[in-house]
C-alpha cells in the first residue's frame, strides 16, 4: 500500500518513484534502528459472552427507543404532553397527540407509538416460536392466537393513532 502511495506521489510531483520510495523506507525504519520496542506480555481480559437472551433484550430495548423517537426527543426537547384550551368552557385540557404535524411529536406520543410497534414485533416473534418442533397442538394454537392478536391489535391501534394525529386520514372525499 505504501508503495502505491509513494508511486502516485512521485508521478504526480514529477519525481523518480524508486528514489522517493528509498527515502520513505529509510524514514520508516530509521527510528527502529535506534530504539527498541519493549516486550510486553499482556493478557486479554476474560469477558464472558453474554447469553442470547441478554443480547436480544438489549437489542429489543434499543429497537423500542429508536422507534419511540428518542433521538428526536433529545434533539428537539418537546414537552411530555401538550395542552389545548376548550372553546366552550375555557378550561385547559391535556393532549397526547400533536395533531396536523406528522414530523413532530410529544414524548408520550412517541413512547406509545413505539410500544405499539414493539407489541407488533413481539407478535411476530411469538408466531415464530409457535413453529417449533415437539410442541403440543394446544400450546401451538395458543401461541398462534396470541401472536395474531398482538399483531392485529397493534396494527389497528397504530392506524387509530394516525387518524388522531392526522384528522381526515383515509377518508374518501368522493
Share of residues in the chain with pLDDT > 90 (%)? 56
* Claim: this prediction has a pTM higher than 0.75: no
CA distance 104 to 106: 7
Q: Retrieve residue 74's grid coordinates.
A: 433529545
What pLDDT does residue 149 have? 98
CA distance 109 to 160: 13
pLDDT tens digits along 65-111: 999 999 999 999 999 999 999 888 889 999 999 888 888 999 999 99
Contact between 168 and 100 under an 8 Å Cβ cutoff? The reply is: no
Amino acid at each position: 500500500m505504501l508503495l502505491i502511495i509513494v508511486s502516485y506521489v512521485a508521478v504526480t510531483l514529477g519525481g523518480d518513484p524508486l528514489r522517493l520510495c528509498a527515502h520513505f523506507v529509510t524514514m520508516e525504519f530509521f527510528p527502529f534502528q535506534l530504539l527498541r520496542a519493549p516486550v510486553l506480555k499482556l493478557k486479554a481480559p476474560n469477558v464472558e459472552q453474554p447469553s442470547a437472551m441478554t443480547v436480544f433484550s438489549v437489542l429489543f430495548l434499543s429497537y423500542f427507543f429508536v422507534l419511540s423517537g428518542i433521538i428526536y426527543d433529545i434533539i428537539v426537547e418537546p414537552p411530555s404532553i401538550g395542552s389545548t384550551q376548550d372553546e366552550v368552557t375555557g378550561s385547559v385540557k391535556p393532549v397526547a397527540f400533536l395533531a396536523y404535524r406528522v414530523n413532530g411529536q410529544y414524548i408520550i406520543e412517541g413512547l406509545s407509538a413505539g410500544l405499539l410497534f414493539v407489541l407488533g414485533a413481539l407478535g411476530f416473534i411469538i408466531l415464530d416460536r409457535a413453529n417449533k418442533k415437539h410442541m403440543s397442538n394446544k400450546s401451538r394454537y395458543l401461541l398462534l392466537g396470541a401472536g395474531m392478536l398482538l399483531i392485529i391489535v397493534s396494527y389497528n391501534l397504530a392506524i387509530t393513532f394516525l387518524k388522531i394525529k392526522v384528522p381526515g386520514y383515509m377518508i374518501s372525499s368522493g
